[in-house]
Structure 1
Amino acid sequence: MKASSSTPDLQELTPVFFGLHLVGGQIGLPIVVCIFLLSKDVRRHTTIINFCITWIIYSVAYCLSIYGKFNAPAMPVVAGLAVVFQVWCTFREPWMPSRFDIAPQVIWNIAMIAPPYLVFLAFSLAATYMAIEYPNSISMENGLYCDLDGTMMYNSVPIFCTVVMIFILGFEVAILVTYCRSRLLIKKVCPLAETKMPSLIPWMRVTIFLLYSCFAFGACASKFTNDLSSFPYMIQATLPFGVLLVFGTHKDVVLAWRFWDRKQSGYFDTSTAISSRNTSIERRPSAFSIGASLPGSMVSDGTTVPRGEMESRV
């Protein structure tokens, strides 16, 4: 095996590395996905379910220690881009029809779900080819998973993930700007609207997601600095757990775990419902459940607009 002086030996952190993957990506997220698919009271958009599934595969691939680095990271990153794109579409004038609605639903379903798996397959085949052609490049010097030193694959995945992360961060900034502008526009057009302060919990979820996006970006960028610290590796391990915190701690999901008490509570949280059970890509509430649906005179940020004023001004 080929040694690399820029690779730290993290064998002593193996229990922590795999423990984080186990809790977040192989126990927590599979349970959450099963709730999304099987529960009648918990509904999520197809892109959210697909996003969680890609992180499960990501976690399993790393724990197999078989070229996990060269196929796993790119897949959830692409799925994350689909999620923020869907949220961005939701926030762009949610009361207006989407420009993308002209395409058949099945086309948009495939376009939003298939890319992560195509990227996963492409990098897997490329890594397999490189391993066969250059067997001496295979290294497990970091003590956690296999690497391919001295090949074009060594930097290809970090470069790809960094580029996609830039797009994700750009969409996240655009979502926040669009949301703030929408609130200001509603107050300007409908001055009699009853404005409610948004709930802090959804914004905490958004903050966690943004922070993890920044940490993931930093982990990708650190690849090019020959960083010998354990930071990028531990960030990789905690990402599935971060996804679990963001999407698996909604009130309706927690209540679904308490199946013995569900009939007594009679609770259904419409503010966290991303979509109905059909798999169509439609304009629905945000993936972070910042707002509810738009029933007539209700605006997704919690602002109630008198119907007469809405009809006369908008």
Structure 2
Amino acid sequence: MSFDMGPVTPLLLNIWIYPNLISNTILLPLLVATFLFSTRATRHPTLINLCMTWIFSGIFSLLLFYTGKYEVNSPEPPRLLCIVQASLIYGITPMWSVAVLVFVYHMVATTIEGWAFPGGSTVRLVVMLSAPYIAQCSFSIAALAISVSHPRLVNLRHRKLYCSLEHLRLYSAMGWFTFAVCVAIIAFEIYLAIFMYRNYRGMRQARHSTGLHLALLLRVLIFGLYILFGIAANFVFMYTQHTRIGDMYLATMGTVVLLVFGSQADVLRVWCFWRRDDLRKKPAQICPSHEPSWSIDLSKASSPEDKDEPLHLATTGLESGVPVYGDRHLNLGN
């Protein structure tokens, strides 16, 4: 399994470095800090965990950059550094794919009755948050064992942008695992989209305001389409390794995560702190209680109590100002 990808141009190297550097290791940590410490833009741990996986992805992808070993068509870096990066790189796509699956599952579990994971809420949360890192460690440990046993299979020459392990069986296992997880992600998103559309039609037929924000649909659609593109890129990359599609997808996915979840209105209000007084002067928009609607709030967690309640449209009082769907919310932004 030895392929020559040809020379790397400065443009290609910059496309690999700067999205990883700016989005994954600078702006995504800022977004995570906003979710953790701001009282105005809180999010569920599954979304925070998703962002964390892409922070790690950026760090792993730029190990050569951080150690000053990045040059156009640079010579082979130190063997130990190359083995470390190759081992970590092998776990990136399994890690983020599982993190996205857990996040999408949380969307479904908090929206649709009967999907909550069995067991206590603490155990459920620990399993959901640890699953991506279990996938990462599993593939990275396997890659490390092979790299130490066969160091000649590890080099920068193969992929040019990062050190990689030329091992067909392990690569195929990683590719098929990621493919299967991404298919599950798309299946969950289609299921959720059908559920949302049916309730949207029900609200319209009842002549009520749907409260379904176009931005919500656009965010889910964009994220789902990019995951679908990732499935295609992963499948092509598994059998045609002379392409850079997989590398470019890996470099830009963190930017997509940042744009989808960092451009929400409450996050932008926190970041634009100098406009806080102007925002306070704006009159609050309160949804009348006779207009039932629904939304999804990622700051809420599914609980065992949710399973005992029938899923129904409910109205809210003026104190919340936000229509809800039962007590299950999923807020992807305004």
Bucket of the pairwise TM-score, normalised by the shorter protein: 0.7 to 0.9
CA deviation profile, 1:126-159 (whole Å, cap 9, x unmatched): 1111110111111222211111113532222212
CA deviation profile, 1:134-186 (whole Å, cap 9, x unmatched): 11111222211111113532222212111111111111111111111223345
Q: Please tell me the residue identity of whatever aligns with 2:123.
A: I
Distance in 1, Cα, partners of 2:285 & 2:184: 31
CA deviation profile, 1:76-124 (whole Å, cap 9, x unmatched): 110000011111123314xxxx563762111111121010011111112
- Identify the residue that residue 30 of structure 1 maps to in structure 2: 29
**Cα pair distance change 1:32/1:91, threshold 3 Å:** same
Q: 1:152 aligns with which of 164, 169, 180?
A: 169
Q: 1:162 aligns with which of 179, 184, 191?
A: 179
- Identify the residue that residue 286 of structure 1 maps to in structure 2: none
**Cα pair distance change 1:100/1:205, threshold 3 Å:** closer
- Identify the residue that residue 298 of structure 2 maps to in structure 1: 274
Distance in 1, Cα, partners of 2:23 & 2:46: 19
Q: 2:147 aligns with which of 131, 134, 139?
A: 131
Distance in 2, Cα, partners of 1:143 & 1:39: 40
Normalising by structure 1, what TM-score?
0.80
Distance in 1, Cα, partners of 2:32 & 2:196: 28
Distance in 1, Cα, partners of 2:223 & 2:33: 22
Is residue 2:235 matched to residue 1:214? no
Q: 1:247 aligns with which of 261, 268, 273?
A: 261
Give the conservation status (yes or no) of the 8 Å contact 2:223–2:260.
yes
Deviation at 1:52, TM superposition (A): 0.6
Structure of higher RCO (CA pairs closer than 8 Å, 6+ residues apart) = 1
Q: Please tell me the residue identity of whatever aligns with 1:63.
A: L
Distance in 2, Cα, partners of 1:92 & 1:186: 17
**Cα pair distance change 1:136/1:99, threshold 3 Å:** closer
Deviation at 1:195, TM superposition (A): 2.8
Deviation at 1:295, TM superposition (A): 3.0
- Identify the residue that residue 199 of structure 2 maps to in structure 1: 182
- Identify the residue that residue 116 of structure 1 maps to in structure 2: 132
**Cα pair distance change 1:269/1:26, threshold 3 Å:** farther
Partner-residue secondary structure (3-state), 1:152:
helix
Normalising by structure 2, what TM-score?
0.75
Give the conservation status (yes or no) of the 8 Å contact 2:154–2:166.
yes
- Identify the residue that residue 14 of structure 1 maps to in structure 2: 13
**Cα pair distance change 1:160/1:37, threshold 3 Å:** same
Higher mean alpha-carbon deviation, 224-233 vs 29-38, is at 224-233
Deviation at 1:215, TM superposition (A): 1.7
How many pairs were matched up? 281
Q: 1:80 aligns with which of 97, 100, 103?
A: 100
Deviation at 1:255, TM superposition (A): 1.0
Is residue 2:119 matched to residue 1:103? yes
Q: Please tell me the residue identity of whatever aligns with 2:316.
A: P
